[in-house]
Structure 1
Amino acid sequence: MNVSFRTASAPELMTALQDARRDTLALIEAFLAAGFGTGVQLAARPEFNPPLWELGHVAWFAEWYVLRDARSSDPTAAHRTSMLTKGDDWFDPNTVAHRMRWKLELPSAGALKTYCHEVLDRVLDKLSRAGGDDNSLYPYRLVLAYEDMRRELMLEQLQALGIALPPELPAQAIPNWAQGEIDFPGGTIQLGSAPDTGFVFDNEKWAHACRVPAFTIDSALVTNAQYAEFVADGGYQNPQFWSVNGRAWLMLQDRSAPRDWIRDGRHWLCDRFGRHIVLPGHEPVRHVGLYEAQAYCVWTGRRLPTEAEWEYAAMSGHPALRWGDLWEWTCSPFEPYPGFEPDAYREYSEPHFISHQSVRGASVMTRQRMRSLKFRRFCLPGRDNMFIGFRTCVL
């Protein structure tokens, strides 16, 4: 399915929901084959969940919003009880703190797979009788988007743990794109999504006029070869390139290069799902946090683009501008648009305003149906396990 999930019809959603569940199960099998399931073998990490908890939670989320007709994520909002006796006790993120997910006595992998199949079957049956308008399809589009987003999080976890990709999900190569700069004259854009355009995340509401001054931006992301020059010039050892918070982060990491780089004599290797390969100089540098991106920008005398500049450039349709290979850091804190109100999934955006940074674009691990120039991802500044890079900008 190459059409956007935001405007997908009921038949398209039926196909996509089955496709998403196949990927989820393939990823879970990869964790199980590597000896990771409940998370007991893993150190509790705030960016990840135990794989079996992730499996049950994805199905529970679909059950909550579709089969139980919940109008919000309030723990009392569902009209029916869970198909699992302790489903809410296990999988409701509002009542199960992250640290507790690693200690739960969950059902077996087989029992959770059965639960997933049963939920999906009932969701598809209900969808077959649903109306075709945006309101009727909203919960189905929501759970599809959610499962696709959890898919990318699980791929990030596979990479972080050095687990090979399942054969159903082969790695996507990134071509060698021409490097250059693009000058934009500036102007007023409509930042955010407009009503009556299908599914819209709450943090995109609503489109509003935003003035963008003239600026110059890289046509492509900073490459490994470019970033290697910063590393070779002592970029990680020179405190003048790093912000106060960046220096504090760097001291805790004890790092002299991006997290997946491995020194091999005078050369660099990198980790790709447990395989060590020669660092591809032409590819965008990945798995770098905000502080690393900022330090590189200081070293070059440039800066990260604002969220508005990124959207202006991406929406321009300029033929030389390349986006979608990796998520991209911006220099903008993640903030609500004017008149923000949380949607049914209340915790999606609001708890992360200001503390998180706006991230735009998509990555080679993002499903095609999820890609949108309006999509706003958000991350803590120190997070570097994502498939994320950056481009630079200057006034």
Structure 2
Amino acid sequence: MARHADRATLVSALVDARERTLRQFAAFEHALGPSLRVPCAPELNLPLWELGHIGWFADWWIARNPQLGRGLQADPLVARSPARQVARGVDAEALYDSSAIAHDHRWQLDLPDAETTRADLSASLAQTLALLWEAPDDDTGLYFFRLALFHEDMHAEAAVYMAQALGIDVGHPSPPVRAEPVEVRTVHVPANRWTLGWSGPGFAFDNELGAHPIDVNAFEIDAGPVTWARYLPMVDAGLASVPRYLRRTPRGWETQRFGTWQALDLQAPACHLSATEAQAWCRWTGRRLPTEAEWEVAAHTAPGFAWGEVWEWTANAFAPFPGFAPHPYRDYSQPWFDGRPVLKGASSATHPRMRHPQYRNYFPAERTDILAGFRSVRP
């Protein structure tokens, strides 16, 4: 698991992540042409900006960070060495610092071209790997290398969402079609005193820390996410709008996948649903969304509890655990404790090394571009 990855494993993982990034960028480049322009929308980013930002982030926390070896104790405001772009008279922070550059302003930036940006990423990765081989092979010495890896993996998943929104094929594999109807099963989870939050060695995101006991009453939860076969009757009854990327045809329901319409697999998990749509279905069926603690207890202890095809909305707002303290990358969690829901699990676009049942994802409740669905609990 990458949270405990040693230097050699991290070297391979960082190379793998960069290869995925470049494959996705090449697909956008092929589809969009030299301009690489996309509409200015909250769910989208400029592919060229994304590419430059990934390299800048790694440089900021690794190659340019004089406190690289201090891990969590590093001062995020310590003065950095000059960016590699300064030799060309380019202010890298003014282009790629996501904490300082408003989303919509990115469309107004004079970005370096694709060839130059790829060259910067190549140099960045080479320097990252050289420094990695010199780093202490422990949690402190490897902290920022693991952070850069996970950051790139997150952007790769976001690129899949963007490709779907734009109708661009970035090579994301098609899910298997279920030949047989999926049995609607539930699993019973007895009352439990659960420790919510990360404890122990390895890498953890700041919002996961603050392990604390919580009493969880007995409950019954879906063994798998709610499928289209269970969700769409609410739409057929006129009680919900047609979900994003779906349409009715004389032949039945179809789904748009990276710009191509195809028959909908009714046994697949319902996906691209907002938290509001998930809650509406739960009300309609007399059920409810699981709490974050219930989901986590079931994932760790309940035989037959299947997860990982879609992110799953929960009933909890994204909030700090007791004793929360931001890690050096201050803007990872703290700005988003604004009431948005926690999502648990993973999606088909989440790299396996990112998957962990204690990971806390968070998006605004109205988002439908992400690969999100839900499962339900019987009251």
Q: TM-score range by the shorter chain?
A: over 0.9
Change (3 A) 1:152 1:319: same
CA contact (8 A) 1:38 1:53 kept: no
Q: Which runs of 4+ in 1 moved over 6 A?
A: 72-75
Please list every run of 5 or more consecutive structure 1 residues that lacks an aligned counterpart in the other structure.
237-255
Aligned pair partner of 1:55 in 51, 54, 61: 51
Aligned pair partner of 1:101 in 102, 106, 113: 106
CA offsets 1:249-275 (integer angstroms, 9 cap, x no match): xxxxxxx21101012126110011111
- Shift in Å at residue 79 of structure 1? 2.5
1:222 is the counterpart of 2:219: no
1:360 is the counterpart of 2:360: no
Matched residue type, 2:247: I
Counterpart in 2 of 1:287? Answer: 272
Structure 1: distance between partners of 2:25 and 2:321: 36
TM-score (norm 2): 0.93
Aligned pair partner of 2:2 in 5, 14, 19: 5
Partner of 2:134: helix, strand, or coil?
coil
Structure 2: distance between partners of 1:354 and 1:305: 20
CA contact (8 A) 1:37 1:51 kept: no
Matched residue type, 1:348: Y
Matched residue type, 1:234: G
CA contact (8 A) 1:38 1:51 kept: no
Matched residue type, 2:203: F
Matched residue type, 1:369: R
Aligned pair partner of 2:250 in 256, 265, 270: 265
Structure 2: distance between partners of 1:93 and 1:25: 20
- Shift in Å at residue 29 of structure 1? 0.8
Count of residue pairs the alignment pairs up: 368
CA contact (8 A) 1:174 1:325 kept: no
Matched residue type, 2:4: T
CA contact (8 A) 1:362 1:371 kept: yes
TM-score (norm 1): 0.90
- Shift in Å at residue 36 of structure 1? 5.9
Aligned pair partner of 1:374 in 358, 365, 371: 358
Please list every run of 5 or more consecutive structure 2 residues that lacks an aligned counterpart in the other structure.
none
- Shift in Å at residue 39 of structure 1? 5.7
Change (3 A) 1:300 1:217: same
Structure 1: distance between partners of 2:332 and 2:277: 26
Structure 2: distance between partners of 1:350 and 1:70: 24
Partner of 2:299: helix, strand, or coil?
helix
Counterpart in 1 of 2:329? Answer: 345
Structure 2: distance between partners of 1:321 and 1:102: 43
Aligned pair partner of 1:173 in 173, 176, 193: 176
- Shift in Å at residue 165 of structure 1? 2.4
Counterpart in 2 of 1:82? Answer: 83
- Shift in Å at residue 326 of structure 1? 0.6
1:326 is the counterpart of 2:310: yes
Aligned pair partner of 2:16 in 7, 19, 24: 19
1:151 is the counterpart of 2:156: yes
Matched residue type, 2:83: S
Counterpart in 1 of 2:212? Answer: 208
CA contact (8 A) 2:23 2:170 kept: no
Structure 1: distance between partners of 2:105 and 2:270: 35
Structure 1: distance between partners of 2:66 and 2:54: 15
Matched residue type, 1:217: I
Structure 2: distance between partners of 1:70 and 1:321: 45
Structure 1: distance between partners of 2:305 and 2:229: 19
Partner of 1:102: helix, strand, or coil?
helix
Change (3 A) 1:300 1:115: same
Change (3 A) 1:174 1:8: farther
